[in-house]
Structure 1
Amino acid sequence: MKKFIAIITKELRMLLRDKIGLSILFIMPLVLIVVMTVIQDAAFHSISEEGVPLVFVDNDKDSLGISIGNGLKESTLCAFSDQIDGKPATAETARAAVSEGKFMIAVIIPEHATQKIRTSVEGLVEETMGLSEIGEIRHYVDSVEILMYIDPVAKNSIVVTVTSNLHEFIAAMKTKLMFETFSEQIGEIVPDGVSKPSNAYAKTQIVSYKQEYASKLEGGVTPNAVQHNVPAWTIFGIFFIVVSVVSNIMKEKKDGSAFRLHTMPTSYSQLIIGKLIVYVTVCTLQFFAMMLVGVYFMPVLGLPALDPGDSYVGLFFIGISTAFAATSFGVLIGTVAQSEQQGAILGSLSVLLLSALGGIWVPAYVMPGVMRTISEFSPMNWAMDGFYKLLFRGEGFFSTFAPGMKLIALSFVFLLGASLFNRYKKRA
């Protein structure tokens, strides 16, 4: 125990000596959260994306469903799918898939939708051609409700664009049905005059849309810049501890303290555990500071407050897991690097690369297909997935278990790599 206390004391002293570096660890992520959130807030609702994962359920099996399905397939807007895990999608499985983050949007076409529209159009044509009185055909009017399940992670611009495309597909089909019906009626009888549709039909919305966020939180969570940027830049700030860890290890190598530590009756694993305790604690303090900024400071700027979800245990677990992975990564880079300059460059560039691949700078779901697959191997992407499950989808602690354990497992891989490389250097 005395050895651990001595190691931790040594790490704390080295950390506290670099007051500028320590302040940067806390101030830089906080500034990034505020600046990036304010900058992206206005653009958050207006940027259009392509290749959005979309699942389509056609319960109509007629002209409307076929028309919309073909239109979505040909559109560059979305990555179309009508199957989930190799099985035809249903309304229930589509909602579950969206809530799990497998798709951004699910579009559900109800049964008999085409027939309802066809009946309404026929009634409209009959009234227009003066073949029936309004009172006699009012029963023809029926409403078709197209249901859309939306992942709370999805930006509002995606929802608007998809809805706009659906409007175009349906308008084209309604026009086609109307011309077909007119042709049929004219073929039977040519009236003396054609009157305009009555206001009763002009005000009738044959097709309506219902949008729901596929979230387990009460009332759902409306996506906004705060909910996206606070967890994203929190992860980035935590991983930036890599630079400080590398700098610490490089100083030990430069002033000879690393050699003296190896001559003491203390194992390499004990030295590493001491570093982990100190730097994971620092990362945890970073995490709480950035969460508090999201909850309490963002409303001061006129932005929405961060909704931390319903599972504080899950939030803490994914934060600790991220801190453990970041610190372990720093230990590996610090062990491998041969000089302080090399370590600083390698550490900072690797964090920037992982953040770009992990969806910190650009959401992973708007990346090209190949890059989206690569992003799944970034630890920052795993951390983002854990935060999304809590902050957007309203899931509990157990939903963070998989991404959290992946981060912890990767941490042990980093530490094992650092240990093996250290042994290799001692033998060389």
Structure 2
Amino acid sequence: MISKLLATIRKEIWLLLRDRVGLSILFLMPMILIFVMTMIQDAAFKTLNEKGIPVVFVNQDRDSLGSMIEYGLRNNDLCTFYDSIDGQPATLESAREAIADGKFLIGIVVPAGATAAIRENVTALIAETIDNSGDTTHTDPSKVAVIDSVEISILIDPVTKKSFITSITSNLREFISEVKTKIMFETFSKEIAEIIPDNNGKGPSNAFQRTQIIRYNEEYASRTSDTVVPNAVQHNVPAWTIFAMFFIAIPLCGSIMKEKSEGSAFRLHTMPTSYLLLTQGKLIVYVMVCLIQFMLMLSVGLYFLPMLGLPKLVLGHSMAGIAVLTIATSLAATGYGVLVGTLASTEQQGAIMGSLSILLLSALGGIWVPTYVMPEAMRQISVFSPLNWSLDGYYQLFLRQGGLSDILIYSLKLFLFFVITLGCATAINKWKRRV
């Protein structure tokens, strides 16, 4: 039995070595694919992170509101701040013209007297409140100050994404709210100090500057202290490695078809050996091919992509998890290749069936486009793709810094897929032999 297995392994290795074009497809094309797709999608992932939006700022206010917005934009990673155009201070007209020419995506213009208008409205509102002493029945509606009467102009390039505009406007609202709160606090404190002065005769006018009630802290949810930011490398290297592994279904199917066309399959069936034993040699050889593919793809992410100025692939902390998941993915890919080769009647039929089905499974599995940017209906369908199981497992290891226990469920799914496809291939082969 061992001699038969070794003979089938030797046969498959010689078939692979003789097919130089097939070897180049198996090893070189996936590496080129990773280079090309990572370079293309790098800008897209930067866009998803929304960093460095070019913004030109025109401060006509020269007071608290203008200063607060300018300070916030200058110290925010969201945008790249500009307050001058071609060496000259930005104005409303020059900013509008520059944005129309595509030099900036967004322009922000704070009008003159904006802070004074807010201060006047807040002062009037507080004075009205204190004068009425909480009794709103005697309030004259015509005397109530109109809040939010300041108009800040936002100039937008037509090509700007809606998410960029939403991010900028939400930041502006935060700055304006902070200025209004500060002015209200200071004005209210002065009014109270006039009625009930403190021991030093000074109101707490500077208390707002010394106290910040709410602060924000952003962090990525991870079980370790390390933070890995999602980028094109972290997605494309595992994604297209998985695609390359499953793409061996085509040469594996071709090997099975060649045996059928040359008549060697018929001679093998006459031997007192099960179909499963005959396919074990193919399984072992092509699992080894998958493992070699994985090592080559990892070397691309670790060494070659950083040479192009792209981020280095972060593998996480669980080498055991990577090994188990990679072996499970290799088994699932080879099992699927055997099933396609058993179903197909001709080599052309097998090539079409294998390539189209793998393209469909990879598209559904999040290989081309991450599942988190898919519509909800497509996300629900994607959970049935074995490529999605493998990709989610690598996400757990590379992005979420998970361990072996975190990818066991994905590995079990892939191994079960391997068993089912191999079982179906055996049953179909028996049925075809009877026919």
Q: Normalising by structure 2, report the TM-score.
A: 0.66
CA drift of 1:217 comes to 3.7
Q: What code does the residue aligned with 2:228 have?
A: V
Residue 389 of structure 2 aligns to a residue whose secondary structure is helix
Give the structure 2 partner of residue 265 of structure 1.
Answer: 272
Contact 1:243 1:348 in 2 (8 A): yes
The one-letter amino acid of 2:406's match is S
The residue type equivalent to 2:414 in the other structure is L
> 2 CA distance for matches of 1:127 and 1:41?
52
Q: Counterparts in 2 of 1:189-208, with a 5 A limit?
A: 207-208=214-215
Name 1:392's counterpart in structure 2: 399
Q: Note if contact 1:125-1:178 (Cα within 8 Å) is conserved in structure 2.
A: no
Cα distance in 2 for residues equivalent to 1:325 and 1:386: 14
What's the counterpart of residue 298 of structure 1? 305
Aligned to 2:137: none
Equivalence for 2:46: 45
How far apart, CA to CA, are the structure 2 residues paired with 1:202 and 1:10? 79
| C-alpha spacing 1:324/1:128, structure 2 compared with 1 (3 Å) | same
The code of the aligned residue for 1:300 comes to: M
Matched, 1:368 2:375: yes
Q: What amino acid does structure 2 have at the position aligned with 1:221?
A: V
Q: SS at the partner of 1:362? A: coil
Q: Give the C-alpha shift of residue 172 in structure 1.
A: 8.6
Structure 1 distance, partners of 2:24, 2:250, is 13
Corresponding position: 1:239 with 2:246: yes
Structure-2 separation of matches of 1:214 and 1:414: 36
Residue 27 of structure 1, CA deviation:
0.4
In the alignment, which residue of structure 1 is the partner of 2:218?
Answer: 211
Match of 1:315 among 303, 319, 322: 322
Q: In the aligned structure 1, how far is the partner of 2:171 from the partner of 2:333?
A: 46
Q: After the TM superposition, which residues 82-101 of structure 1 pair with which residues of structure 2 at under 5 Å, given as runs?
A: none
Taking the TM superposition and a 5 Å limit, the aligned residue runs for 1:134-213 are 167=171, 207-213=214-220
C-alpha distance in 1, partners of 2:162/2:41? 15
Deviations 1:6-34 (A, max 9, x none): 11111111121211101210001111111
Q: Could you list the runs of 4 or more consecutive aligned residues of structure 1 that deviate by over 4 angstroms after TM superposition? A: 124-131, 157-185, 198-207
What is the number of equivalent residue pairs in this alignment? 321
- Within the candidate set 326, 329, 332, 2:333 is matched to 326
Unaligned ranges ≥5, structure 1: 50-120, 132-156, 189-197
CA contact (8 A) 1:231 1:384 kept: yes
The DSSP-based 3-state class of the residue aligned with 1:45 is helix
Q: 1:408 to 1:234 in 2, by over 3 A?
A: same
CA contact (8 A) 1:234 1:290 kept: yes
Q: CA deviation at 1:416?
A: 0.8
Q: Judging changes above 3 Å, is the alpha-carbon distance between structure 1 residues 165 and 423 closer, same or farther for their aligned structure 2 residues?
A: farther
Instruction: Find the aligned partners of 2:44 and 2:26 in 1 and give their Cα distance.
Output: 28
- The alpha-carbon distance between structure 1 residues 328 and 232, as it changes in their structure 2 partners (threshold 3 A), is same
What SS does the aligned partner of 1:360 have?
coil
The 5 A counterparts of 1:219-230 are: 219-230=226-237
**2: CA distance between counterparts of 1:411 and 1:236?**
16
Equivalent residue letter for 1:232 = A
Measured on the aligned residues, the alpha-carbon RMSD in Å equals 3.8
Compared with structure 1, are the counterparts of its residues 279 and 223 closer, same or farther at alpha carbon in structure 2 (3 Å cutoff)? same
CA contact under 8 A between 1:125 and 1:182: conserved in structure 2? no
Q: Report deviation, 1:335.
A: 0.4
Deviations 1:218-242 (A, max 9, x none): 3311222111111111111111111
Query: Unaligned regions of 5+ residues in structure 2, if any?
Result: 51-117, 129-160, 193-204
In the TM superposition, residue 174 of structure 1 has moved relative to its aligned partner by 7.0
Q: What percent identity do the matched residue pairs reach?
A: 51
Q: Choose which of 334, 345, 360 in structure 2 pairs with 1:353.
A: 360
In the aligned structure 2, how far is the partner of 1:210 from the partner of 1:162? 20
Post-superposition CA distance 1:110-130 (Å, at most 9, x none): xxxxxxxxxxx99x9579979
User: How far, CA to CA, are the matches of 2:122 and 2:181 in structure 1?
Assistant: 10
Q: Distance in 2 between matches of 1:271 and 1:326?
A: 18
Match of 2:154 in 1: none
How do 1:276-295 and structure 2 match up within 5 A?
Answer: 276-295=283-302
Question: Is 1:15 matched up with 2:22?
Answer: no
Q: Deviations over 1:235-260 (max 9, x none)?
A: 11111111111111111111011101
Write the letter of the residue equivalent to 1:45: K
Question: Which letter does structure 2 place at the counterpart of 1:236?
Answer: F
**Is contact 1:332–1:415 with CA below 8 Å preserved after alignment?**
yes
Cα separation, partners in 2 of 1:169 and 1:260, compared to 1, 3 Å: farther
- Is contact 1:21-1:244 (8 Å) kept? yes
- Report 1:105-124 matches (<5 A): none
Q: Which residue of 1 aligns with 2:5?
A: 4
**Contact 1:325–1:407 (8 Å) recurs in 2:** yes
Answer with 173-182 or 394-403: which moved more: 173-182
Assess if the C-alpha contact under 8 Å between 2:126 and 2:188 holds in 1.
Answer: no
AA matched with 2:291: T
Structure 2 CA distance, aligned partners of 1:290 and 1:253? 33
- Give, as a single letter, the amino acid of the residue that structure 1 aligns with 2:349: Q
User: Is the contact between residue 217 and residue 309 of structure 1 (CA under 8 Å) also seen in structure 2?
Assistant: no
Aligned AA for 1:37?
Answer: T
- CA shift for structure 1 position 269: 0.9
Residues 158 and 325 (structure 1 numbering): CA distance in 2 closer, same or farther, change over 3 Å?
Answer: farther
Tell me the alpha carbon deviations over residues 165-224 of structure 1, each in whole angstroms, 9 at most, x when there is no partner. Answer: 864776797799899999999xx9xxxxxxxxx999689866542110112343311222
User: C-alpha distance in 1, partners of 2:235/2:222?
Assistant: 15
Which residue number corresponds to residue 423 of structure 1?
430
* Structure showing greater Rg: 2
Moved more, 217-226 or 266-275: 217-226
